[in-house]
Structure 1
Amino acid sequence: MEHLDTQGISLPRLGLGTYRMQGDICRAAVESALALGYRHIDTAEMYGNEDAIGAAIASAGVARKDLHVTTKVWNENLAPDAIRKAFDTSLKKLRLDHVDLYLVHWPARNMNLPAMFDALLRLKDEGRTRAIGVANFNVALLKTVVEEIKAPIACNQVEYHVMLDQTSLRKYLAAKGIPLVAYCPLAQGRAASDETLAAIGRKHGASAAQVALKWLLDQDGVAAIPKASRAESQRANLDALHVGLDDEDRQAIAALPKDKRLVNPGFAPAWD
């Protein structure tokens, strides 16, 4: 498994997303993933599954130093006191003494960015999170955080897949040496039924979904966290690492429409 080194942490480029997985299903999925060799687990307070993930990690027997855990603070809890309270709750549910990466899940219109990042950096200074970062931030917000506040951002986690163009965001992140962590990397299942991707897959003995995932992971500075509750899907995503796309494949993927944004709540920022 390749890693991305960022702000003192080593981030496995393929992780397990856990949105909309809860309870015993989530616990079994995380246990399965860890048994298969996944070492990057992504969660959030909003997912309501940190307790299940904590139980899975506790039973898996993977050395803590070999495991990367990301969780996130919801955008209603961005006041400094609320951040600390949310973090304490997340850590207790996860049964950990620290997380590897703590993200602001979504920006909020009334957020005080300097105060937020002061609170996040305190958690980092205390060794309770090894790194901090953001999710769903556009370029304008990133410029404020990176260039004005000068916060040590370890990543920006955003929707990114073969059906959504993120060129301007990727260029900014690359210029600043900040990884992009792609959620919904399989376009919420749409990649699996795309005929262009399926045709490329047939050429390589792979599925359309594996082609879509490898297209992301072939890009510098990009990690991906596909959600997969079944062991078969988790294994297939790992096997995508071995697919070898060529220039012809990349040209065909580049020609696909790139306008399908699937996650766009009313509180989202103005996308670039």
Structure 2
Amino acid sequence: MRTVTAGDVEIPALGFGTARMDDHDVRVRAIEAALEAGYRHIDTAQIYGSEPAVGEAIENSAVDREEVFVTTKLADDNRAHDAAVESVHESVENLGVETVDLLLIHSPNDDVSHEETLDAMNEVRDDGLVSHLGVSNFSVAQTREAEELSDAPIVTNQVEYHVEHRKDDLLAYCIENDVVLTAYSPLGVGDLLDDDTLGEVAAAHDKTPAQVAIRWLLEQPQVSPIPMSSSPEHVRENFEVFDFELSGEQRRDLFAVGGDLPDGLADRLGL
């Protein structure tokens, strides 16, 4: 499996998301299909309610636990120190693992300081319940603050990122500072996959627009997309993105869907 790195941390580049699936059995089947297809990075969160399904699917799978990189996130209600520590113990139990590979702050919360939350996260890391720390839905300034406040490195910022919704400033920051940009909703919402440019590039490669949207992300430095689907067929299809490459012109055309790139970032991306 191809990886992205933050310092000495290697994360499987293509992950599987588990949000927006309400039925436990549907979740388990989808995650089992993901593991069978080759995904080795599973993303969950306390607020998704999918941690037990992730644990069950891993237990049912022929894939060894050590091969699966598991990410979960603190709910807003679990941002205070004691609540954060207690909730991580619950997440570990729900997931049926000894250690969570990556723990994120799910989103900024003005009610509790980032310092308090990160202190708790570093504590559970020191206790061996968590291996690595990160954030989600943070701005560049908030990411920089988190890095300054945390003893352990902040290895990722997970944000919505796709062809029509770029994060140019954050991507530039992640490239410069060796942080992974984990892209949730990489296939967008609504009619993104009906975009004409995606369709044209997909036809040229005999691929689907979804596969092209994922491949476009994988070809960017420091980016790790985490598509999700409750359909085992789509789960497998979304993983079949390692047997083709986009041309420079196709990459430029896809970036143009979301507007002009800043010159400095365009140079970094080889565009």
For normalisation by structure 2, the TM-score amounts to: 0.91
Counterpart Cα distance in 1 of 2:53 and 2:249: 43
State the match for 2:10 in structure 1.
Answer: 10
Q: Please list, as runs of the form range in 1=range in 2, the aligned pairs for 1:17-36 lying within 5 A after superposition.
A: 17-21=17-21, 22-36=23-37
TM-superposed CA distance for 1:148, in Å, is 5.2
CA spacing shift, 1:61–1:160, aligned 2, 3 Å: same
Contact 2:16 2:39 in 1 (8 A): yes
Further displaced range: 216-225 or 148-157: 148-157
| Letter in structure 1 aligned against 2:222 | G
CA spacing shift, 1:191–1:7, aligned 2, 3 Å: same
Counterpart Cα distance in 1 of 2:129 and 2:100: 6
Counterpart Cα distance in 2 of 1:119 and 1:7: 22
Further displaced range: 89-98 or 218-227: 89-98
Further displaced range: 35-44 or 241-250: 241-250
TM-superposed CA distance for 1:49, in Å, is 1.4
Q: Please list, as runs of the form range in 1=range in 2, the aligned pairs for 1:64-83 lying within 5 A after superposition.
A: 64-83=65-84
- For structure 2, the 5+ residue unaligned runs are 261-271
TM-superposed CA distance for 1:182, in Å, is 0.2
TM-superposed CA distance for 1:56, in Å, is 1.1
Is 1:173 the counterpart of 2:174 in the alignment? Answer: yes
Further displaced range: 5-14 or 229-238: 5-14
Number of aligned positions between the proteins: 259
State the match for 1:256 in structure 2.
Answer: 257
Counterpart Cα distance in 1 of 2:236 and 2:187: 15
CA RMSD of aligned residues (A): 1.6
State the match for 1:143 in structure 2.
Answer: 144
| Letter in structure 1 aligned against 2:239 | L
Contact 1:206 1:243 in 2 (8 A): no
Deviations 1:62-108 (A, max 9, x none): 21211110011012211010101111111111111111001000110
CA spacing shift, 1:255–1:40, aligned 2, 3 Å: same
| Letter in structure 2 aligned against 1:204 | H
Contact 1:44 1:71 in 2 (8 A): yes
TM-superposed CA distance for 1:258, in Å, is 4.9
Further displaced range: 110-119 or 178-187: 110-119
TM-superposed CA distance for 1:6, in Å, is 2.6
Deviations 1:208-257 (A, max 9, x none): 11111111100001001001222221221111222211111112112213
State the match for 2:201 in structure 1.
Answer: 200
Counterpart Cα distance in 2 of 1:109 and 1:151: 22
Counterpart Cα distance in 2 of 1:65 and 1:17: 19
State the match for 1:234 in structure 2.
Answer: 235
Contact 2:135 2:157 in 1 (8 A): yes
| Letter in structure 1 aligned against 2:118 | F
Contact 1:99 1:130 in 2 (8 A): yes
Contact 2:5 2:222 in 1 (8 A): no
State the match for 1:109 in structure 2.
Answer: 110
Counterpart Cα distance in 1 of 2:259 and 2:54: 33
Is 1:91 the counterpart of 2:92 in the alignment? Answer: yes
| Letter in structure 2 aligned against 1:233 | H
Deviations 1:139-191 (A, max 9, x none): 11112112355651010000000001211111112211101000000112533
